[in-house]
Chain A
Amino acid sequence: MKRILGAFLLSLLLAEAAMAQRKFPAGIEKFAARAEETTDVSLDKSMLNFASKFLSSREQDQQARRIIASLEGIYVRSYEFNKPGAYTAAEIAALRQQFQGPGWSHIVSVRGKGSDGDTDIFMHLGDGQIKGMLIIAAEPQELTFVNILGPIKPEDLKELSGQFGIPQIRSPKNAQPEGKSK
């Protein structure tokens, strides 16, 4: 009995570790066939370090340097479709489901109005620390997955949302835990 329980717990841990290491949710490759255009950026630690050497002294580049200093990787996959309806709500729900297990916290879930789309943010936690962040952004004609591996800090998130040509807005009262908007 103990042996069975031990094996079961080990398999859970291994599954969780595998999920953490995966760059993107399982099964998203199918969207490529439906997409008009795909953007794929995969930067592991060594590539982040390499890129960092070529950042300039401009403010934007220096902010990038600060953000990536402690990261282990940044992975972005974005699919653009030529019309809405290329994917179903069920498919996206199934992807979100992959991050409901232990070690993951679904910290933000916003449902947009009309053509704004839906965005979910998951934090990967371990040993009481943030180990990464996953964003799933589902818009009518675009599906984007962003996986940041490493201890990304809240102030980094604020920087990310306020730079690189994107205007910053005043923060609302902190993002609701499990803040589901209906």
Chain B
Amino acid sequence: MSTSWRTLETIVRKHQSMVFSIALRITGDWGAAEEAAQDVFLALYRSLDGLTSEEHVLFWLRKAVVHRATDYRRRFARMPEMRGEAVNDLPGNPNDGDPLQTRHLQQLVACLPENLRAAIVLRYQEEMMPEEIAQTLEMPVATVKSNLQRGLDLLRRKAEKVLR
């Protein structure tokens, strides 16, 4: 693949929403998500020659952004819970049936333990199957399924508690 700026720009425009969104759900912070997402595309730019297909690029991007966003989250976890333009400050989706529940769910996902959060985001935002998630996160499928179940249970319990 050519590594011209135009190629990079094309790839970024095509996948920026996906990469940024995964980073946002994992870091819970708009600024950190943008930095992580930028880092991922720059790393992709350096690795383009080794990528062989569109599917490969997609797989690579998802894997890289999960790792990078998790790193950012761990780095800033030295501080008290991140604020700034946090998830609950984001404009709601105009198609949201219930903006309050949507934002609350976004917040709950951002507060999930690290190992559960990535699986939930890849399943419910990216609509990936557990086998695909297992490949991306480099863990056994059984572990992914377990994390998805535990994550979902935790979200349900917390959502019920607040919305009651």
Contact = CB atoms under 8 A, between A and B. Distances in A.
Q: A–B direct touch, CB within 8 Å, in complex?
A: yes
A164 B31 contact: yes
For chain B, the bracket of interface size reads 10 to 19
Interface residues of A, number: 9
A43 B85 CA distance: 25
A165 B80 contact: no
Contacts of B81: 167
B79 A60 contact: no
Contacts, number: 29
A165 B84 CA distance: 4
Interface of B: prevailing SS: loop
B41 interface: no
Contacts of A164: 31, 84
A163 interface: yes
Contacts of B30: 165
Given A165-B31, A166-B83, A167-B82, 11 more contacts: A60-B31, A60-B85, A165-B29, A165-B32, A165-B76, A166-B82, A167-B80, A167-B81, A167-B83, A167-B84, A168-B83
Interface of A: 59-60, 163-169
Per CB-CB distance, the 10 closest pairs between chain A and chain B, nearest first, are A165-B84, A165-B31, A167-B83, A165-B29, A167-B80, A165-B32, A165-B82, A164-B31, A167-B79, A166-B79
